[in-house]
């Protein structure tokens, strides 16, 4: 099985990026609950033939959709070790918890947070953002709100993020019971960064209307175009307005490891909390999200519960005062920290930083190819590793459909897998270079296919104008 997976990674270039799931295979997965065991080898064969060829393809170098990491052999082996150990990281006196704590110390160091900062592995940035909102909420309303609830929200809390913020920020506000009406989506400037004048006006207007601003959520690397909000300016605002300053750095925060990008994240070290993913730019296998919180006590106070069966002792397995389960909603927790710990140590931060810089270089190469081709149009500035563009055709009214169809064709051909988004109202082909395996070869191959499918589809358009 190990050999199969090493072969899979080694020869992944020879495979299609993605292929549709055959109906016959999908149907087999409606079989009822098995009563008798089946030989491991038989189930393994089913995995090889029915599952492995039909994943979304984010390990493949031609995968450029959304923002997804590619994984590494080191991460895979660490997963195997973690599964074998089957540690439960809810708490207790054990080295796996110490590994997670070392990760926290490393993140404190990377983001220049104090020793009193807390951190926790979670599934992803969606949950990390949610945890941050809950801490900010408890801070704004007082810890008594954990008991009394916020049902009627008499203080009328309001939060701020840019229109480019990920949808999970709004979802976090919803799940926190604050209601998405209370999230102000601030317009962006020409660089897709939160417009600071609009932010100032929105906060003023809300205060005048008797609302209680409590949080600014900046983004370090927006999912659409890779924009980084002016984090220093947001930190100033949050400080003078006494608001919680959260940063959604899902993929961008770990660019702190890249020497050429780190200066652009200036201000991140002043955040109250940072949410990010090891499973994106750091290539740690799914899932491995993380929340780092400056005020570790506020974090603890938001989640800790006292239950007799989870009582802390002075000796034995139940020793220790603060356990990971005191910092989030999960009691049972897997050993996610191990794969991040292995990745950082085996590759080293220098090499990981260079890998991140390299993906941005590949994106700039794609940008140059687009700018040098009159049949293609760049739709947004290339800030980091995300390139939004489209194929041009004289029939302007059908450009959105045409470009969407090009992306369908790309996926179904298995040649490349960008995704789509909307930029300035236009449908854009969006290539996010996150996978460490992606290079110029994949870019050239994707662009050749874009032109080829574009030409073929536009013949249909010219023949049947709408």
Ligand X SMILES: *Cc1c(COP(=O)(O)O)cnc(C)c1O
Binding site for ligand X (CB under 6 A): 67, 124-126, 166, 168, 219, 221-223, 248, 250-251, 277, 289
Q: In the chain, helix, strand, coil percent, each to 5?
A: 50, 15, 35
Say how far residue 426 (Cα) sits from the centre of its chain. 24
Comparing CB distances to ligand X, the nearer of 337 and 402 is 337
CA dist 334 → 112, 118, 250, 423 (Å): 27, 18, 20, 39
Comparing CB distances to ligand X, the nearer of 67 and 271 is 67
Say how far residue 398 (Cα) sits from the centre of its chain. 32
Distance in Å, CB of 227 to ligand X, minimum: 10
Say how far residue 109 (Cα) sits from the centre of its chain. 21
Residue 285 is given by DSSP the state P
Residue 388 is given by DSSP the state E
Burial class (CB in 10 A: 0-12, 13-18, 19+), 15: middle
Comparing CB distances to ligand X, the nearer of 248 and 272 is 248
Both tokens of 83, joined, read 């599964």
Rg of the chain over all Cα atoms, to the nearest angstrom: 24
Distance in Å, CB of 392 to ligand X, minimum: 28
Distance in Å, CB of 48 to ligand X, minimum: 28
Residue 86 is given by DSSP the state T
Distance in Å, CB of 50 to ligand X, minimum: 26
Distance in Å, CB of 389 to ligand X, minimum: 19
Q: Which residue is nearest to ligand X (CB)?
A: 124
Comparing CB distances to ligand X, the nearer of 161 and 447 is 161
Indicate the helix (H) or strand (E) that contains 426: strand 426-432
Q: Rounded to the nearest 10 degrees, what angle do helices 440-463 and 336-371 cross at?
A: 60
Distance in Å, CB of 323 to ligand X, minimum: 24
Distance in Å, CB of 248 to ligand X, minimum: 5
Comparing CB distances to ligand X, the nearer of 251 and 335 is 251
Distance in Å, CB of 229 to ligand X, minimum: 11
Distance in Å, CB of 312 to ligand X, minimum: 31
Dihedral sign from CA coordinates of 95, 100, 104, 105: positive
CA dist 128 → 267, 334, 344, 417 (Å): 19, 16, 21, 28
| Alpha helix segments (H runs only) across 86-219 | 95-110, 125-141, 145-148, 167-175, 196-208
Comparing CB distances to ligand X, the nearer of 251 and 391 is 251
Burial class (CB in 10 A: 0-12, 13-18, 19+), 109: exposed
């Amino acid at each position: 099985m190990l050999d199969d997976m090493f072969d899979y990674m080694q020869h992944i270039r020879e495979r299609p990026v993605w292929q549709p799931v055959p109906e016959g295979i999908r149907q087999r997965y409606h079989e009822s609950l098995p009563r008798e065991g089946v030989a491991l080898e038989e189930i393994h064969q089913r995995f090889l033939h029915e599952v492995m060829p039909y994943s979304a393809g984010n390990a493949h170098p031609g995968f450029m959709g959304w923002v997804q990491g590619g994984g590494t052999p080191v991460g895979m082996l660490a997963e195997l070790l973690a599964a074998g150990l089957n540690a439960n990281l809810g708490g207790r006196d054990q080295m796996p918890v110490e590994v997670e704590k070392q990760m926290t110390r490393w993140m404190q160091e990377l983001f220049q947070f104090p020793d009193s900062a807390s951190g926790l592995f979670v599934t992803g940035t969606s949950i990390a953002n949610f945890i941050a909102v809950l801490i900010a909420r408890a801070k704004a309303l007082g810890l008594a709100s954990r008991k009394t609830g916020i049902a009627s929200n008499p203080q009328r809390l309001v939060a701020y993020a840019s229109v480019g913020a990920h949808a999970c920020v709004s979802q976090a506000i919803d799940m926190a019971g604050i209601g998405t009406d209370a999230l102000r989506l601030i317009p962006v400037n020409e660089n897709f960064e939160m417009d600071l004048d609009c932010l100032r006006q929105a906060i003023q207007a809300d205060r005048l209307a008797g609302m209680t601003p409590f949080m600014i959520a900046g983004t370090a690397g927006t999912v659409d175009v890779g924009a980084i909000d002016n984090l220093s300016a947001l930190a100033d605002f949050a400080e003078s307005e006494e608001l919680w300053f959260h940063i959604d750095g899902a993929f961008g925060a770990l660019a702190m490891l890249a020497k050429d990008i780190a200066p652009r994240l200036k201000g991140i070290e002043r955040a109250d909390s940072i949410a990010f993913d090891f499973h994106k730019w750091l290539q740690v296998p799914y899932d491995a999200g993380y929340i780092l919180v400056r005020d570790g006590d506020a974090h603890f106070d938001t989640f800790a519960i006292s239950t007799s069966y989870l009582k802390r002792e002075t000796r034995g397995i139940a020793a220790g005062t603060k356990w990971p389960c005191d910092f989030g909603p999960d009691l049972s927790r897997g050993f996610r920290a191990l794969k991040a710990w292995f990745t950082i140590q085996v590759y080293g931060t220098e090499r990981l930083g260079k890998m991140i810089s390299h993906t941005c270089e590949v994106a700039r190469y794609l940008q140059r190819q687009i700018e040098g081709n009159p049949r293609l149009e760049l739709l947004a500035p290339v800030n980091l590793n995300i390139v939004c563009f489209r194929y041009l055709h004289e029939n302007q009214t059908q450009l959105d459909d045409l470009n969407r169809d090009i992306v369908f064709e790309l996926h179904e051909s298995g040649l490349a897998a960008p995704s789509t988004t909307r930029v300035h109202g236009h449908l854009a082909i969006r290539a996010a270079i996150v996978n460490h395996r992606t290079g110029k070869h994949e870019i050239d191959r994707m662009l050749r296919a874009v032109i080829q499918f574009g030409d073929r589809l536009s013949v249909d358009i010219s023949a049947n104008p709408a």
